[in-house]
Every structure is written in C-alpha cells, then in structure tokens.
C-alpha cells in the first residue's frame, strides 16, 4: 500500500454582488455590450467583492465549506496553501490570515504566486507533502479580488475577471498505487519566463514604480493557451498510462469559453462532461478550478470513481495539469 492524496472536500464562495455585462458597461462607461462580451468570451456575469471584503475573508468561507464536506475539523489541518495574485498584504501571507480566521492553529501556512495556474501548483505541492508524510490534511485554496487590480477603462481586460474563492481539503489515504485508486494521480507544472510580459500586473510591493494594474496581450495569451494546455494534459495522461477515453470530466481554468470548448474537443469529450462556470463567474484566476469543482461536487455531477483532469494557464507564463480520481 502507498500513501495517496485524496480530495475529500470541496468548497466555494462568491461575493453577494453580481454584475451583468450591461451593468458593468454602464457603471464604467465602457464602449461595449452584452453581445460583444458574450460572443468573444462566453461571460454573462461576474461577482464583485464588497468594500472591505478581502481574499482571506473569501478564502476562509470556501475553506469552511471544504472542511465541512470532508468532515475534518480545523484543528486537524496540518497545512494551508493559498494561491493568489491579490493577497491581503505582501506579508503576513493571506494563508496565515485564513489560518487564524478558521481556527486552524496548528501546522503551517503560506501563499504562492502562479497567477491562474496557482491552484494546480498548490495542489501539486499538497500532493507531495502528503506522499512524503509531512502532512495528512492540507487545505488548498485559490482566492482572488481581481476587481481591485483592473483598469476599468480597458474593455479588453476589465470585462474578463471576477472575484471569488474555492478550496479543497486534501487528505492522506492508503491505496494500492494504481490508476484505479482514488486520489491525485499526478500533477504536472511548467513555466516559461520569456513570455512573462504578455500577462502581468505592473509593479508590486518591491517595484520602484509601486503596484499597478493588470495588463494582457490577449491574442498572444490565446495563442499559447490551447497548444500548451493540450500538451500538458496529454503529458499527465501518458504519465499514468491513460488515454482521452478514460477521462470522465474536464474541469478547466475558466478563462474563456472558446479555450474551454477547444480543450473539450481535444479530449473528445461531449460538452456535458466539461464543467463550465465562466458564463456566471468570469475568470476568477486561481479560484476558478476549485470553484468549478465545488459546484460539480455539490450538484452530484462528479461522483465516486470519476477521473477528472484539471488544467490551467496563467501569467508567467505558467501552465499545468492535474489528474485525480474521486
């Protein structure tokens, strides 16, 4: 028998305020429309954090739901890993803020920055911590308040993003070590800093120019997305001796409906086996995959024994994929 990291609970949180495309355009005086946005992105709505609502507030709410689904108490949590590009502060980490808010006072907590790929990176680290015996219960959280880093005069970016948080509780369990076992089969992570400038937040806490706003070369990002995502998904399947026909669900990063549909076609999956939330959540960056997972677990779509592939690409460029059997 071997130690295997099992996804035991999922949780999500969306701010109360929901904005339609038309409301967003009117609010900021944008030269755009619901039709223009939907046809190019698939987005109809997004949620916006309330004044004073932080990444740690949202992450804590998602974490509580994940713990409740898993039946694990906060005191049993050994580690909290938070993927975010919009932390409460440079330090202390948003992860330790969440640790305090949920009462998980043992173990350790830290943030990591890999933009939209952050959740996949964090899941890979959680998997390693469990396989090496350093932790038994790990909270993996993606939480973002992108509404605070957007240029509201740039219709090419500001209409794409929303706020929210998602979380999973990853628990150590014993397995035979085959691909038929429950748990995370493998995680695959990549980056290429040569393309860092095509999707970035200008500046930061240590920058001479101070923190800035999100900037994106949309066509360039799209060009990289489908090819890199298809390659890393095939890498994950090949590493486990599996094929496209073995995948039950695709839970992709929710950036753009066109990219999501292209990935579904690459895997030969019908649309009803691709979890889509981008129409209602927009792009919530590191929160998008765990939010989609939480929704599909709540409504019963993802069930016991289902093989799920998760994939994402983000600023860095970073990209990655994870395979898990529920």
| CATH number, position 96 | 3.40.47.10
282 within 8 A of 305, measured Cβ to Cβ: no
- The span from the CA of 206 to the CA of 183, in Å, is 39
- 259-to-85, 189, 240 alpha-carbon distances in Å: 22, 19, 25
279 DSSP assignment? H
| Whether residues 37 and 128 fall in one domain | yes
| Whether residues 212 and 154 fall in one domain | no
- Average pLDDT of span 125-140: 97
128 within 8 A of 122, measured Cβ to Cβ: no
| Whether residues 166 and 244 fall in one domain | no
Residue found under tokens 């957007």: 150
| Whether residues 13 and 162 fall in one domain | yes
Q: What is the mean pLDDT of the chain?
A: 95
- The span from the CA of 213 to the CA of 175, in Å, is 46
- The span from the CA of 285 to the CA of 263, in Å, is 18
Between 307 and 27, name the one with better pLDDT.
307
Task: State yes or no: is 190 an active-site residue.
Answer: no
- The span from the CA of 259 to the CA of 271, in Å, is 13
Query: What pLDDT does 208 receive?
Result: 52
Query: What pLDDT does 203 receive?
Result: 74
Instruction: State phi, psi for 65 to the nearest 5 degrees.
Output: -65, -40
Q: Report the half-sphere exposure of 142 (CA within 13 A, side-chain side).
A: 32
Nearest to 80 by CA among 57, 54, 104: 104
Q: What percentage of the chain carries pLDDT values higher than 70?
A: 98
Instruction: State phi, psi for 19 to the nearest 5 degrees.
Output: -115, 130
| Whether residues 208 and 251 fall in one domain | yes
| Whether residues 136 and 201 fall in one domain | no
Task: State yes or no: is 281 an active-site residue.
Answer: no
Please count the structural domains in the chain: 2
| Whether residues 35 and 14 fall in one domain | yes
Nearest to 94 by CA among 130, 124, 122, 68: 122
Can you count the helices (H) and strands (E) in the chain? 10, 13
Nearest to 222 by CA among 190, 194, 260, 252: 260
182 within 8 A of 325, measured Cβ to Cβ: yes
Query: What pLDDT does 212 receive?
Result: 83
Question: Per-residue pLDDT tens for 64-121?
Answer: 999 999 999 999 999 999 999 999 999 999 999 999 999 999 999 999 999 999 999 9
Query: For the CA atoms of the chain, what is the radius of gyration?
Result: 18
Domain end (from 158, 175, 192):
175
Q: Which of 10, 21, 137, 253 is labelled catalytic?
A: 253
Domain end (from 111, 142, 175):
175
Task: State yes or no: is 253 an active-site residue.
Answer: yes
Structure tokens at 53: 């609502």
| Whether residues 41 and 119 fall in one domain | yes
- Average pLDDT of span 209-237: 89
Predicted model pTM: 0.96
Query: What pLDDT does 211 receive?
Result: 64
Domain end (from 150, 175, 200):
175
| Whether residues 95 and 192 fall in one domain | no
121 within 8 A of 232, measured Cβ to Cβ: no
E-strand ranges in 176-304 read: 183-191, 199-201, 214-216, 249-252
| Whether residues 304 and 275 fall in one domain | yes
| Whether residues 143 and 257 fall in one domain | no
Domain of 213? 183-325
Q: Which of 10, 21, 47, 116 is labelled catalytic?
A: 116
22 DSSP assignment? H
Q: Which of 50-64, 175-189, 199-213 has the lowest mean pLDDT?
A: 199-213
| Whether residues 169 and 240 fall in one domain | no
Query: What pLDDT does 24 receive?
Result: 93
- The SS3 call for residue 235 is helix
- The span from the CA of 208 to the CA of 119, in Å, is 29
Q: Which of 21, 137, 256, 283 is labelled catalytic?
A: 283
Query: What pLDDT does 207 receive?
Result: 57
Beta bridge pairs of residue 274:
250
Give 3-state DSSP helix, strand, coil % of the chain, rounded to 5: 40, 30, 35
Q: What percentage of the chain carries pLDDT values higher than 90?
A: 88
């Amino acid at each position: 028998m071997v130690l295997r990291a099992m996804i035991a609970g999922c949780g999500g949180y969306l701010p109360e305020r929901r904005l339609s495309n038309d409301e967003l355009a009117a609010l900021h005086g944008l030269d755009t429309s619901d039709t223009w946005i939907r046809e190019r992105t698939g987005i109809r709505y997004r949620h916006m954090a309330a004044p004073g609502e932080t990444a740690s507030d949202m992450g804590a709410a998602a974490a509580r739901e994940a713990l409740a689904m898993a039946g694990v108490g906060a005191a049993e949590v050994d580690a909290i890993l938070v993927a975010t590009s919009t932390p409460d502060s440079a330090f202390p980490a948003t992860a330790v803020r969440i640790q305090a808010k949920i009462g998980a006072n043992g173990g350790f907590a830290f943030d990591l920055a890999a933009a939209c790929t952050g959740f996949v990176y964090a899941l890979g680290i959680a998997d390693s911590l469990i396989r090496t015996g350093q932790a038994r219960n790990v909270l993996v959280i993606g939480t973002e308040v992108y509404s605070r880093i957007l240029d509201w005069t740039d219709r090419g970016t500001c209409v794409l993003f929303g706020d929210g948080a998602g979380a999973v509780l990853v628990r150590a369990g014993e397995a035979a070590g085959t691909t038929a076992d429950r748990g995370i089969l493998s995680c695959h992570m990549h980056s290429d800093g040569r393309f860092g400038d095509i999707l970035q937040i200008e500046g930061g806490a240590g920058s001479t120019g101070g923190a800035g706003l999100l900037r994106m070369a949309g066509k360039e990002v799209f060009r990289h997305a489908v090819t890199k995502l298809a390659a890393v998904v095939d890498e994950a399947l090949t590493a486990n001796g599996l094929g496209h026909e073995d995948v039950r669900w695709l839970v992709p990063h929710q950036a753009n409906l066109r990219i999501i549909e292209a990935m579904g076609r690459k895997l030969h999956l019908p649309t009803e086996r691709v979890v889509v939330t981008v129409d209602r959540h927009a792009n919530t960056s590191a929160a998008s995959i765990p939010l989609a997972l939480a929704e599909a677990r709540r409504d019963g779509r993802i069930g016991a024994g289902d093989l799920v592939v998760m994939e994402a690409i983000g600023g860095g460029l970073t990209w990655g994929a994870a395979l898990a059997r529920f």
